[in-house]
């Protein structure tokens, strides 16, 4: 798990329409602006790809992400991909979910068997949250 933790911490979490990727332990000024514009205080970056850090086929991952998308219909979303900067892990289609709280994001991460996700609150650095 330590190897995965390091990969998650170093990953670049891109958001469609933003120039700067989200990084764990950093504040992304563009995400902050998005929150301010929409009067929202919280966000999460989540995928349904590769549950428990086990690589699945692209088809299976896309089906999983389609199910996640349906679960997110009550939130404002921006789609894009998370990337391993070392290229050791394939890009994962993901969602920036605006207005989701930590409990809701944690429940979805558990439902889709995600080892971790990125969570943020306005004015604070992005956090890497590990699922139970």
User: What would the mean pLDDT of 95-107 be, rounded to a whole number?
Assistant: 97
- Predicted TM-score (pTM) of the model is 0.92
| 13 touches 7 (CB < 8 A) | no
The two tokens of residue 109 are 């991460």
Q: Where are the domains of the chain?
A: 2-130
16, β-bridge pairs: none
What is the C-alpha to C-alpha distance for residues 86 and 46, in angstroms, rounded to an integer?
Answer: 20
20-61 pLDDT, tens digit each:
999 999 999 999 999 999 999 999 999 999 999 899 999 999
| 99 touches 40 (CB < 8 A) | yes
User: What would the mean pLDDT of 97-119 be, rounded to a whole number?
Assistant: 97
The two tokens of residue 114 are 């995600």
């Amino acid at each position: 798990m330590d190897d995965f933790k390091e990969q998650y911490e170093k990953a670049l979490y891109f958001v469609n329409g933003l120039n700067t990727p989200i990084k764990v332990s950093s504040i992304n000024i563009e995400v902050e602006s998005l929150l301010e514009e929409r009067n929202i205080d919280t966000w999460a970056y989540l995928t349904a790809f590769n549950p428990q850090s086990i690589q699945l086929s692209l088809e299976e991952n896309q089906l999983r992400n389609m199910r996640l998308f349906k679960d997110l219909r009550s939130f404002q979303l921006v789609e894009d991909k998370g990337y391993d900067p070392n290229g050791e892990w394939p890009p994962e289609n993901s969602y920036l979910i605006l207005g989701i709280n930590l409990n809701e994001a944690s429940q979805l991460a558990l439902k889709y068997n995600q080892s971790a996700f990125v969570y943020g609150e306005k004015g604070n650095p992005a956090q890497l949250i590990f699922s139970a």
